[in-house]
Structure 1
Amino acid sequence: MHYKLGLVGYPVTNSLSPWIHEQFLKKAGLTGSYSLLEIEPNESFENELDRIKKNHFDGFNVTVPYKKQIIPFLDDLDDAARMIGAVNTVVQQNGKWIGYNTDSTGFVTSLRREHPSIFQDKQCHILIIGAGGAARGIFYGLAEAGFSQIDIANRTQSAAENIVSTGKQKTETSILSLKEAEAKLNAYDLIIQTTNVGMKPNINEAIISLDRIHNASIVSDIVYQPIETKFLLEASQKGAAVHYGHTMLLYQAQYAFEIWTSKKVPADALKQPLQSILEGR
């Protein structure tokens, strides 16, 4: 079987998904292709998506700005996509198009691989900074993993409040302003930055100061361009352990590949090559 895969979004020309999935195909001993399926905002999304479906794709990823927009055009959703309200992976099964969200699993898997100690205490205190789509997926994934104390800090309180309902498991969650979170950072064992603050070209920006973190904490940033954001650099200087964003990218892709092919290929060996590619950009 020759797998026909791709990525729907705009813009996608600089995506590393083709490289990642080509590596997975090789590791799985499968043949296939992975195409960039750019849909410009001024084009009819419905017409372009219909064209993609008719081109006999086995599945595709979905990125901004279409993770929510694609939902009405799918036949079904998995539980994670339904609760999070966003789709980043689509598979064709028996003529039906099913939407998944692998971001939540990707983050939790990458965190477990890089910092397994955090999973020894499900009562540890977690702070998520931001309330966008990535924050929704990460909150859902951590709640499903059994963590029960997950706070959210965001500029807009209502956006943060909407995230709490995505966790099936009972969580104790406080909604904080960024200033409030900054003032009590020493209360958190895991701090996760989920916005695009600090992404290239604005590499000198950080969403909050980390002056008050304790040196036994883990600090994560989902931004991976640059690999070492200002946020993570400050965390390292304070003695905290850091969790890099490109690992989430890799493990969410691993789960998507498994959905398409039913094969879970090893991904650990790709972390360093992926980092090298990103550092060279």
Structure 2
Amino acid sequence: MVEGVVTSGDKARRAVPGTVLTGLIGVDIQSSRSPEMHMREAAAQGIALHYELFDLAGEDHATADLTATLDAVQRAGFAGVNITHPFKQQVMALLDRLSDEARAIGAVNTVVFGAEGRVGYNTDSSGFAEGFERQLAGAAIDRVVQIGAGGAGAATAMAMVNLGCRELVIIDPQGDRADDLVSRLPGTIARVGRDLAAELASASGLINATPIGMEGYPGAPIDTALLRPDLWVADVVYFPLETELLRAARAIGCRTAHGGDMAVFQAARAFDLFTGHRADRERMAANF
């Protein structure tokens, strides 16, 4: 604990001179690895940094709670904060400016306080892209099927657009979410899919952008019998690193990418924004 800072919904007090204060606002975030990732990288660079959790669990999750917490950390001199579930969309209305990527994705996971006021970014998308290139370098992205069109799905879809995917098929049980996401993506490469088996039959790769597979949400998001050895499979879930989907894919010879790198690299980009110093990606990944 840095002197002068209190946690979990209380008002943050004045920052300690010379210390970069950052944190995470969300609900049920006590198991987050963000504090360790940020503070360990800062220590390696000789930067005094403290990362605080502001867990609004038990609150009614109204915008007023988020507003009060955001106001408090800004007054306290925080460099910025990360934002997670369920506030990634709510926070957008409380900001002065959005990065182009955050606006296109429709969600913010990083807020920086500075001369331009409150600026919102989405580092999930670049985090997924960095992790994809690290684990699946050279993989074909001609035609990709993505399951899930929520906040994570919006970030991964934008990442695939930026990586040069030629056709992105988005499938979501809530069809209107898929329609909305496709309408917000630049260009014309994305479309909504309805028949998973038919879409996968000619796909280069599969992205799971749902929570299915993480602790508390066991199982696989698809019938794993639909997998083929020449299909790569990427998952946003990182707890556990090997989900049931990835385990089944690896067993038949698919190239796979776990969600750990996305978690690391989104944090690394946020670190860059908070501190003005570039995080060592490989060091952060090795320490994850």
Cα separation, 1, equivalents of 2:166 and 2:225: 25
**Alignment correspondent of 1:141:** 159
Cα separation, 1, equivalents of 2:79 and 2:92: 17
Q: CA deviation at 1:23?
A: 2.0
Cα separation, 2, equivalents of 1:51 and 1:272: 34
Cα separation, 2, equivalents of 1:168 and 1:149: 12
SS of 1:126 mapped into structure 2: strand
Residue of 243, 248, 251 corresponding to 1:234? 248
Cα separation, 2, equivalents of 1:216 and 1:273: 31
Cα separation, 2, equivalents of 1:35 and 1:106: 21
CA contact (8 A) 1:157 1:176 kept: no
**Alignment correspondent of 1:87:** 108
Q: Does residue 1:221 correspond to 2:221, yes or no? A: no
Residue of 178, 199, 213 corresponding to 1:198? 213
Residues 138-177 of structure 1: pairs in structure 2 closer than 5 A: 138-171=156-189, 173-177=190-194
Listed as ranges, the gaps of 5+ residues in structure 2 are 1-17
Greater CA deviation, 210-219 or 30-39? 210-219
CA contact (8 A) 1:139 1:166 kept: no
**Alignment correspondent of 1:11:** 28
Deviations 1:179-226, CA, capped at 9 Å, x for gaps: x213442312110001111211343x1111132332122101111111
Q: Does residue 1:78 correspond to 2:99, yes or no? A: yes
Q: CA deviation at 1:167?
A: 2.3
CA contact (8 A) 2:145 2:199 kept: no
Q: Percent identity?
A: 29
Cα separation, 2, equivalents of 1:69 and 1:243: 30
**Alignment correspondent of 2:265:** 251
**Alignment correspondent of 1:100:** 121
Q: CA deviation at 1:272?
A: 4.2
Cα separation, 1, equivalents of 2:232 and 2:254: 6
CA contact (8 A) 2:83 2:108 kept: yes
CA contact (8 A) 1:182 1:208 kept: no
Q: CA deviation at 1:249?
A: 0.3
Q: Does residue 1:58 correspond to 2:70, yes or no? A: no
SS of 2:54 mapped into structure 1: strand
**Alignment correspondent of 2:69:** 48
Cα separation, 1, equivalents of 2:116 and 2:124: 25
**Alignment correspondent of 2:131:** 110
**Alignment correspondent of 1:34:** 51
Letter in 1 for 2:155: G
| 4+ residue segments displaced more than 6 Å | none
SS of 1:170 mapped into structure 2: coil
**Alignment correspondent of 1:277:** none
CA contact (8 A) 2:41 2:284 kept: no
Name the TM-score, length of structure 1 as normaliser.
Answer: 0.89
SS of 1:33 mapped into structure 2: strand
SS of 1:11 mapped into structure 2: coil
SS of 1:207 mapped into structure 2: coil
SS of 2:265 mapped into structure 1: helix
Change in CA separation of 1:182 and 1:27 when aligned onto 2, cut-off 3 Å: farther
Cα separation, 1, equivalents of 2:253 and 2:188: 32
**Alignment correspondent of 2:145:** 127
Greater CA deviation, 128-137 or 194-203? 194-203
Name the TM-score, length of structure 2 as normaliser.
Answer: 0.87
Q: CA deviation at 1:76?
A: 0.6
SS of 1:128 mapped into structure 2: strand
CA contact (8 A) 1:140 1:166 kept: no
Question: CA RMSD, aligned part only?
Answer: 1.7
